Amino acid sequence: MNIDELTYGEIKQLNALFNNTPKSSLSSFVGKKVIVRTYSAGVHYGEVVEKEGHEVILRNARRLWYWKTANNGISLSEVANAGLHKDSKVCAPVELHWLEAIEIIPCTKESIKNIEAANEYKA
């Protein structure tokens, strides 16, 4: 076999043999601002830096300690679509935060603006 004479199809077959890890669209979340629901650490908002398995690292992460949706919705999907009600309690951002995610929801431009403008809640 002369490697310089391989066809494109043969190259794809070789690649499939050596790279049997399925390609995932999960890496498409990197760079996006999202809502993350975790197993035991609550709900967070931030920009995805890295995602592997259930693990996600967020930049400028804000914990949504208590939340209501801006449009009187009932789910985190609504928070990601419309943002937070003024009665929500949002913590100050931290530079990086490692989480074990069970749900990751991309945010709309409207909700990003709303969540980032939320006041830091102080007890």
* Cα–Cα dist 65/69, whole Å: 13
Torsions phi, psi for 40 (to 5 deg) = -140, 5
pLDDT band at 25 (very low <50, low <70, confident <90, very high): low
Burial 75-85 (b: 16+ CB within 10 A, else e): ebebbbbbbbb
- What are the two backbone dihedrals, phi and then psi, of residue 70, each rounded to the nearest 5 degrees? -65, -30
> Structural domain tally of the chain?
1
Is the pLDDT at 109 greater than 70? The verdict is yes
Give this prediction's pTM.
0.77
Name the band, by pLDDT with cuts 50, 70 and 90, for residue 29: confident
Q: What is the DSSP letter of 120?
A: B
pLDDT, residue 67, reads 95
Average pLDDT over residues 94-108: 95
Task: Report yes or no on 123 lying in a domain.
Answer: no
User: Residue 102: left (phi > 0), alpha (psi -120 to 50), or beta?
Assistant: alpha
Residue 41: count other Cβ atoms within 10 Å of its Cβ.
14
Cα 90 from Cα 8, distance rounded (Å): 52
Query: Which position has the token pair 């197993």?
Result: 39
Q: How far is CA 12 from the centre of its chain?
A: 31
Confidence at residue 68, expressed as pLDDT on a 0 to 100 scale: 93
**What pLDDT, in 10s, does the model give residues 56-91?**
999 999 999 999 999 999 999 999 999 999 999 999
In a domain, residue 58? The reply is yes
Domain extent, residue 62, equals: 22-117
Q: Domain with 89 in it: what CATH number?
A: 2.30.30.100
How confident is residue 116, by pLDDT bands cut at 50, 70 and 90?
very high
pLDDT of 13 > 70? The answer is yes
Mean pLDDT of 91-109: 95
